[in-house]
Structure 1
Amino acid sequence: MNLLEPSLPNLEILQIGFNLFNELGKSDESTPVAEQKIKGFEKLENLHLEGNKLVDWNQVLRLSRFPKLKSLDLSENRITNIIGPQDPEDFKLLESLRLNDNDLKEWSSIDQLGLYKSLTSLWIANNPVMAKAAEDATADNSGKPDVRTITIARMAHINQLNGTEILKKNRIDAELYYLKNAAFSTVGSEPSAIRALHPRFEELCELHGRPDTSDERRKATSDLLKDRLLNITFVTKDSIDGPAKTTVQRGVLGSMTVRNVKNLVQKLLRVPAMRQELLFMAEDPVYAGVMHKVFLKDDLRMLSHYDIEDDTEVIVLNKAK
């Protein structure tokens, strides 16, 4: 890239994808790679490096001093881990970063990305860490946070993830949910160990309050997690009183959250989670034989919160219709 710059001093967009680069110019073995900044490109705002063979984030840091760089595409490379800014000038204006289809394996890389404070839009699908988290969250219906929730909670500054806007409510929900799970999973751990696993933990406690992890609360949570498997029939309808369109049965735990139920329904019935309105009919606690509608409105609540019973029929309405 150093060879290109003298001939292209006014360049604003540079596309050099699919060139099999594994480094960005020759390196001086006597100096750390991250300190060997590529100079020039004073007007460059948008740089495409997708489809190359970059592995080392230190090579990427060589681009960090382009004074107007706002968008960087590193999709389809082989980057294995991320390193945060080495000084305040690194990628000072970078707003948009694409890291789809790389080889990120640890959540620590996402934590490091969160240190680039100007970064507001991130694309990060199809990395091993995401695939593993998705499997963990759905394989045992355990109510663990999903991939999007974890990513939003770990990165304080992004407002768009994989092309989808993060609303204020989305962020609050994600941070509360993540904070609760982080607290219960680290009960008894040293503060340094908690910080290593969840760098934003104390920050989130200051924002939302410290979760109650007392013995009583843990026992209550433990009891919920032991709930028997509930046989639920999910039925798609155009209206509450309308005919059933599609029906499927599944066993779910009472400890499963409404958010994860919606994700499950999305896979089973092809109704997008964001469009779903879930409800079931329950007998009125006062008037025998009178049925009333119970809406599953709170994505962060467990099914057991709604006293849902075995063999219940849950109606799935598509709010887009």
Structure 2
Amino acid sequence: MINWAEACEVLVYLPNLQDLQLGHNQLEHLRPSSRISTLEALPNLTTLNLDSNSLGDWVSNMVSCSLIPQLHNLMIPFNTITVIPCRVDTTATKEPTLSLHYLAISDNPISNWGDVDSLVTWFPELHELSISLEPLASGIPPGASRNFVIARLPHLAKLNGTEVTGRERIDAELFYLSWIGRDGQLSEADTEALNPRWKELAIKYNTSTEKSKSIGENLGSHMISVSIVKIQGPVVKQQPVLVQKARTTLRILPTMTVKAFGMKLKKAMKLLSQVNPKALWILSTLESGETIPLRAFDADPLHDLTWSGVEDGTLIGLVV
């Protein structure tokens, strides 16, 4: 085993080194050597792999990595990172930013969306990210974790090895905006604190940031229009589906439960059996004219439709 300081003292004799693998070394910190600077030791290093160590202190580790001038790819999966604090930038304390293009932090115990938001403050040029989505899934619609990561990181072009298309980004950001808007109880300040890109996205998509009133003048003012089409299964996310021409348009309340929506759908479309929530999908129409399924409905029949990302103008597919 070799610690970080010892590695730098050895690698000073390899000034052209570009890729360093220090996985499985039981590293608990990246404390610099007192004998040689990190800049002298690693002047041309672009890729650093710290897989499967015991690195947990995010700030001190990022400060150490910022001393590597050419670093663009950083892998820290299977470590002990639990919190990613927002970078401090004040007159008293100014923590560094890093010019990373690729970051891998999968299989760390990261479960707070605030940690994802903080990544932008450390890596303003981050284009590719590897992160475990399952720990982030609590309290949001099923299958929405990928959408929420994309919406929170404006320059992300690839997530967990899969390209983020322009269409996917638009859908993810609009879905995220609709999710933010469902909670009318939070103040504007609290909403922005929990969702730093809220106002930026609202401006981008010309959406109001005014908080909705708790009591409406009438139910009609809160109703939305959705369109439902029948699609042929089996359905694979992001893969084109066959859509029947007939389209049913309904005026509904977004606070309606999935179960109640299914009953309304059965009546409107003259279906013979009850609608299974698992047969409902949010759809998107591409510029090519093809229709793709973005995500399945929330499987809990007692959750309201906003959990599934239903909003005014949503196209819904019913698998037949």
TM-score by length of 2: 0.65
Assess if the C-alpha contact under 8 Å between 2:32 and 2:38 holds in 1: no
Residue equivalent to 1:45? 46
Assess if the C-alpha contact under 8 Å between 2:177 and 2:198 holds in 1: yes
Residue equivalent to 1:154? 152
Matched letter for residue 83 of structure 2: N
Displacement of 1:3 in angstroms is 2.7
Assess if the C-alpha contact under 8 Å between 1:254 and 1:303 holds in 2: no
Assess if the C-alpha contact under 8 Å between 2:27 and 2:54 holds in 1: yes
Assess if the C-alpha contact under 8 Å between 1:95 and 1:120 holds in 2: yes
Assess if the C-alpha contact under 8 Å between 1:154 and 1:200 holds in 2: yes
More displaced, 67-76 or 252-261?
252-261
Distance 1:42 1:304 in 2: 53
Displacement of 1:183 in angstroms is 1.8
The DSSP-based 3-state class of the residue aligned with 1:72 is: strand
Assess if the C-alpha contact under 8 Å between 1:225 and 1:254 holds in 2: no
The answer for unaligned runs of 5 or more in structure 2 is 225-251, 264-273, 285-291, 300-307
Residue equivalent to 1:201? 198
Instruction: Find out whether 1:2 has 2:5 as its counterpart.
Output: yes
Residue equivalent to 1:219? 222
Residue equivalent to 2:276? 251
Displacement of 1:253 in angstroms is 8.9
Displacement of 1:174 in angstroms is 1.0
Identity of aligned residues (%): 27
The DSSP-based 3-state class of the residue aligned with 1:180 is: helix
Residue equivalent to 2:141? 137
Instruction: Find out whether 1:230 has 2:262 as its counterpart.
Output: yes
Instruction: Find out whether 1:60 has 2:92 as its counterpart.
Output: no
Matched letter for residue 4 of structure 1: A
The DSSP-based 3-state class of the residue aligned with 2:54 is: coil
Relative to structure 1, the CA distance from residue 206 to residue 306 in structure 2 (aligned partners, 3 Å threshold; closer, same or farther) is closer
Distance 1:53 1:85 in 2: 22
Deviations 1:49-75 (A, max 9, x none): 010111110232111121110100001
The DSSP-based 3-state class of the residue aligned with 2:262 is: strand
Assess if the C-alpha contact under 8 Å between 2:74 and 2:103 holds in 1: yes
Relative to structure 1, the CA distance from residue 175 to residue 218 in structure 2 (aligned partners, 3 Å threshold; closer, same or farther) is farther
Distance 1:27 1:3 in 2: 7
Distance 1:263 1:171 in 2: 14
Displacement of 1:27 in angstroms is 9.6
TM-score by length of 1: 0.64
CA RMSD of aligned residues (A): 3.9
